[in-house]
Amino acid sequence: MDGTLIILLCFSVLFLLLRFHWSSSSSIMSRNGNTSQDVDGLFLFDFRKLSDLDHWTEESDTVREVGKSKAVFQLQKTRLFQRAIFFTLLNPQENGAGFAGCRTNTNFDFSKYEKLQVYGRAQGSNAGYKIVLRHNGLNNEPNPTYEQIFQAKPGDQFQLFDLPLTEFKPFYRGRLLPDAPALNKANITRLGLQVFGGVYMDYKQKGVSSFEIDFIRAV
């Protein structure tokens, strides 16, 4: 083997090694092992690929004595596709107080992004859903949650729902807290999904619903 061929082989091996390193470093993993980054944004949860939802737990109104709602978050796996399904039974009080939800602890930095996107489809009784965020490790009461509602009208078509990060507002038990600090986009330590009764709203919700989700991402 002459020297020119050896040099060409060395350059080929070096190119492959550099390409593998670049490809590996383009993925950003959260401590939950869910997050990846590509040209389409930062995929926080790509439910089409996850092996389980073990890091997600229920957070419904049964944490309070009068609560009687229920949420279940499961992967649906078929031979043709995979996605997550958020099942809810919403039994609010007469004034609309009540919620059914699920949550997971996170370690996200959204400082370079403008909005969250949820790609999914609603079926059943309810159209109003919330994404609920917490920041700075303040994951429990009496600290506020940062919430944004999106309307997922039940139907046959999947939709892409845009949630601008500037529109996440601080709440405590459904009541807006206008004097609370703004959301720290650089340190999101919990993310949740919720269906709500509407205690302080001009419309109410109740009953059985489902929301199928392919992914949640930041863009």
For the domain that residue 167 is a member of, what is the CATH number? 2.60.120.430
Q: What is the DSSP letter of 144?
A: P
**pLDDT at position 7:** 52
> What distance in Å separates the CA atoms of residue 177 and residue 185, rounded to the nearest whole number?
18
CB 92 within 8 A of CB 205: yes
**pLDDT at position 40:** 80
Tokens read off for 33: 């092992």
Using 50 as the pLDDT threshold, list the residues of the chain that sit under it: 13-33
> What distance in Å separates the CA atoms of residue 20 and residue 160, rounded to the nearest whole number?
32
Residue 18 included in any domain:
no
Residue 50 included in any domain:
no
> What distance in Å separates the CA atoms of residue 83 and residue 208, rounded to the nearest whole number?
19
Residue 177 included in any domain:
yes
Residue 35 included in any domain:
no
Domain holding 103, by residue range, is 56-218
**pLDDT at position 219:** 98
Distance of CA 209 to the CA centre of its chain: 18
Summarised one tens digit per residue, pLDDT across range 96-137 is: 999 999 999 999 999 999 999 999 999 999 999 999 999 999
SS3 141: coil
Residue 36 included in any domain:
no
What domain count does the chain have? 1
Distance (Å) of CA 15 to CA 4, 10, 124: 17, 9, 53
Q: How many other C-beta atoms are found inside a 10 Å radius of the C-beta of residue 179? A: 6
Residue 214 included in any domain:
yes
**pLDDT at position 53:** 98
Residue 97 included in any domain:
yes
Residue 119 included in any domain:
yes
